[in-house]
Structure 1
Amino acid sequence: MGKTDVMLHFAKVAGWAGYLPIIFSLEMPEHLITSRLIASTGGFNRTKMRDPNKMLSQKQKTKWPDVIGNLNETTIQIFDGAGQSIPEIRAKARKMVNQFPNRKPIIFIDYLTLIRSSDFYGGSSHLQVSEISRNLKTMAKDFACPVICLAQLNRSVESRANKRSMMSDIRESGSIEQDADLILFLYREKYYDKNLDDSTLEIILSKNRNGPVGTIPVKYNEYTGELEELKESNISI
């Protein structure tokens, strides 16, 4: 649906605005995250990023140094260790905060159920997710910064006529629904109808503890990962 691309877009924009984006990628290795960042920033087709030296045009190669320079300005920090725990994430984030004292951090985690909990809880995923969700909330408060964590949905949405997600679609949703200050869902009509000529991605703000809710449409290029703002939205003030 585009979760990682939206996360990377948020990270880049935050970095260019003077924040310190810290990405914990528990699923994707750092070189693939970096490749996605370059592709979306430069407007390069991601399939060509497998061998940019051979597959990119001369014009794109000329553009390459500027793209890398723009990305360097974001000061994005990436940690790609699998199965990281909340204490490990906190320690690495604190190290980065101390290293960049003039930038306020924004922490991104991809994704929730890959975080290692401190207890097996007899195999209860609900209790594990509850612990992780609670600890993420505490970490956001301790660091006084946003913590944005991606999460997977269950498959019940596939059986509905309207496939836009609801909070009950989040796996082990109870604690997440309670702890999160904001919950965003993504929806693309083209995801379900490949023949549709529609590049719209809906960012659905379903929960906002301190403000309005609604839908923000953006233009999404699934080949490069680029997001472009569209003017209309139905956020209620």
Structure 2
Amino acid sequence: MAQLEATTPPQNLDAEESVLGAMMVSEAAITPVILDVRLHDDDFYREPHRIIFRAAKKLYEDGEPVDALTVSEYLAQHGELAEAGGKEAVSHLASTVPAAGNAAHYGRIVKQNSLLRRLLQASHRTQKSVYEREGEPSELLERAQSDLFRIATQDLAKDFTKLGDVLSVEVHRLEELASGKREMTGTRSGFTDLDQKLGGFQPGNMVVVAARPSVGKSALVCNIAENVALKDGRPVAFFSLEMSETELAHRFIASRARIPGDRLRKGSVNKRDWPRVLKALNELDSLPLWLDDSSDLSMLELRAKCRRLATKEGQLGLVIVDYMQLMRPEDPRIGRVEQVGQISRGLKILAKELDTPVIGLSQLSRASEQRPDKRPILSDLRESGNIEQDADVVIFIYRDALYNDEADPAETELIIAKHRNGPTGKTPLVFLGQYPKFGNAPRPQDAVYERTGDGPPLVDLADEA
């Protein structure tokens, strides 16, 4: 380890000098270096080069000329000229640049060496933490993966943002929404009324979907996952701690083909249904939908898997965890409420880190069944506390037919009990338990139709694309 530390870190001083010289010779060279290459002062190996780069960038941002004279004057006014090497050093950079038009190429060389140094530093930190046994192996592994993920996405990481810059972006987005060029600010669920209330699932948000057993939690998020992957073409990470990959596959096929799920499980699909099954298989085969049925999954493992998938596939459209209470706690010695609180907080941190909506399914306590009105409320969240606090959106699924024999078994309510940035309320859905599948409830102006043998009428999401 001592030998590694004694080795000169990766760097290219000629490239550093050339990119700085180009910036002082040609103002046209500055824009691609800053905006395209995303070069920062800490990408330079030598401290004098960092100081000169900061000065040139500041002059450029202020709309001032950038050349050897103005950079030297700026450094002198700020007491940094001597530290940068003096006027002679600054003038030397401007007079020896090979070709100012190649500034972006020089910048990329500097950037690549900076990346190698960051990787080297991360490996040293990992070695140190292992040699000194600074934690459990799983914790050290997660820390190392987090380091690498941060390096890979460093240029995308956010710092303080001026309010005016945020408003400028938002005005443009609102104009697109108003003009019809853009439909949603977030990831669409595929359920019209829900999307209108939420504006889609927003990046960085943690969404909790909760219900009593056998109401349709898994079916709902399966439908949402299918919609995001099929209609928007965005990658979805689906963690199922309750059902196997085979069971999930059957659900997706049955939902897409509109074939009762028990027929698939029993292998009793008739000839008339096979074309629909094959069509569903072809549609589902190419979807960017990734399944993980690990039954003993910790938050560290989940975050590591999501990071790897995001690195491989790009920005994720959605992460789904079915369901939160089945995840393995990091510390089994603490109380159950605190364990679930750590899991809830971990999902919220993951959503912010990946800038992706994360849906966590949750159980409900029996409290709702003791009330005359069986509709769930926030206090019914099982081992709640932190779940309610961390969630940006809480959605309950309620089907009156489970408590009232005279109610329509297809009628379903999605109850938005919490919405940090918008309205709460109810949205109607239709539930087809034989698939199982949810659909938009028909509106008075919609043409209601029914395929023979397919159950109650609904507006098929496949036909609304």
The corresponding residue for 2:226 is 12
The corresponding residue for 1:59 is 272
Shift of 1:190: 1.3
Report how many residues are paired: 228
Q: Which of 186, 201, 204 lines up with 2:397 in the alignment?
A: 186
Structure 1 gap segments, 5+ residues each: 233-237
Task: Please state whether the residue corresponding to 2:423 is helix, strand or coil.
Answer: coil
The question of whether the paired residues in 2 share the 8 Å contact of 1:15 and 1:73 is answered with no
Q: What is the rounded CA distance, in whole Å, between the counterparts of 1:121 and 1:47 in structure 2?
A: 41
Shift of 1:193: 3.2
Q: What is the rounded CA distance, in whole Å, between the counterparts of 1:70 and 1:20 in structure 2?
A: 15
The corresponding residue for 1:95 is 308
The question of whether the paired residues in 2 share the 8 Å contact of 1:39 and 1:46 is answered with yes
**Is residue 140 from structure 1 mapped to residue 351 from structure 2 by the alignment?**
yes
Task: Please state whether the residue corresponding to 2:273 is helix, strand or coil.
Answer: helix
Q: What is the rounded CA distance, in whole Å, between the counterparts of 1:107 and 1:71 in structure 2?
A: 18
The question of whether the paired residues in 1 share the 8 Å contact of 2:409 and 2:431 is answered with no
The structure that has the greater radius of gyration is: 2
Larger mean Cα displacement after TM superposition, 171-180 or 64-73:
64-73
Task: Please state whether the residue corresponding to 1:151 is helix, strand or coil.
Answer: strand
The corresponding residue for 1:39 is 254
**Is residue 112 from structure 1 mapped to residue 327 from structure 2 by the alignment?**
no
Shift of 1:196: 3.7
Task: Please state whether the residue corresponding to 1:93 is helix, strand or coil.
Answer: helix
The corresponding residue for 1:28 is 243
Q: Normalising to structure 1: TM-score of the pair?
A: 0.92
* Higher RCO by CA contacts (8 Å cutoff, separation 6 or greater): 1
Considering fraction of residues, name the structure with more helix: 2
Q: What is the rounded CA distance, in whole Å, between the counterparts of 2:307 and 2:282 in structure 1?
A: 26
Task: Please state whether the residue corresponding to 1:74 is helix, strand or coil.
Answer: coil
Q: Normalising to structure 2: TM-score of the pair?
A: 0.48
Q: What is the rounded CA distance, in whole Å, between the counterparts of 2:297 and 2:270 in structure 1?
A: 39
Q: CA offsets per residue over residues 163-222 of structure 1, 9 Å max, x none?
A: 000010001111011000000000001122356434111111110111111111011101
Q: What is the rounded CA distance, in whole Å, between the counterparts of 2:309 and 2:323 in structure 1?
A: 20
Q: CA offsets per residue over residues 101-152 of structure 1, 9 Å max, x none?
A: 2x53311001011111211244x10110111111111010001001100000
Q: What is the rounded CA distance, in whole Å, between the counterparts of 1:132 and 1:171 in structure 2?
A: 13
Aligned partner of 1:185: which letter?
Answer: F
Q: What is the rounded CA distance, in whole Å, between the counterparts of 2:382 and 2:362 in structure 1?
A: 8
The corresponding residue for 2:458 is none
The corresponding residue for 1:235 is none
The question of whether the paired residues in 2 share the 8 Å contact of 1:157 and 1:165 is answered with yes
Q: What is the rounded CA distance, in whole Å, between the counterparts of 2:406 and 2:306 in structure 1?
A: 43
Q: What is the rounded CA distance, in whole Å, between the counterparts of 1:198 and 1:135 in structure 2?
A: 36
Q: What is the rounded CA distance, in whole Å, between the counterparts of 1:186 and 1:205 in structure 2?
A: 9
**Is residue 78 from structure 1 mapped to residue 291 from structure 2 by the alignment?**
yes
Q: What is the rounded CA distance, in whole Å, between the counterparts of 1:69 and 1:96 in structure 2?
A: 23
The corresponding residue for 2:216 is 2
Aligned partner of 1:47: which letter?
Answer: D
- Percent identity over the alignment? 32
Q: What is the rounded CA distance, in whole Å, between the counterparts of 1:220 and 1:81 in structure 2?
A: 28
The corresponding residue for 2:166 is none
The question of whether the paired residues in 1 share the 8 Å contact of 2:228 and 2:317 is answered with no
Considering fraction of residues, name the structure with more strand: 1
Q: What is the rounded CA distance, in whole Å, between the counterparts of 1:43 and 1:194 in structure 2?
A: 26
The corresponding residue for 2:408 is 197
**Is residue 227 from structure 1 mapped to residue 434 from structure 2 by the alignment?**
no
CA change 1:224–1:194 in 2 (3 A) is farther
Task: Please state whether the residue corresponding to 1:223 is helix, strand or coil.
Answer: coil
The question of whether the paired residues in 2 share the 8 Å contact of 1:14 and 1:74 is answered with no
The question of whether the paired residues in 2 share the 8 Å contact of 1:85 and 1:117 is answered with yes
Q: What is the rounded CA distance, in whole Å, between the counterparts of 1:226 and 1:219 in structure 2?
A: 8
Q: What is the rounded CA distance, in whole Å, between the counterparts of 1:74 and 1:216 in structure 2?
A: 28
Shift of 1:72: 2.4
Q: What is the rounded CA distance, in whole Å, between the counterparts of 1:43 and 1:84 in structure 2?
A: 32
Aligned partner of 1:183: which letter?
Answer: V
Aligned partner of 2:294: which letter?
Answer: G
Aligned partner of 2:308: which letter?
Answer: K
1:146-165 equivalent positions in 2, closer than 5 A: 146-165=357-376
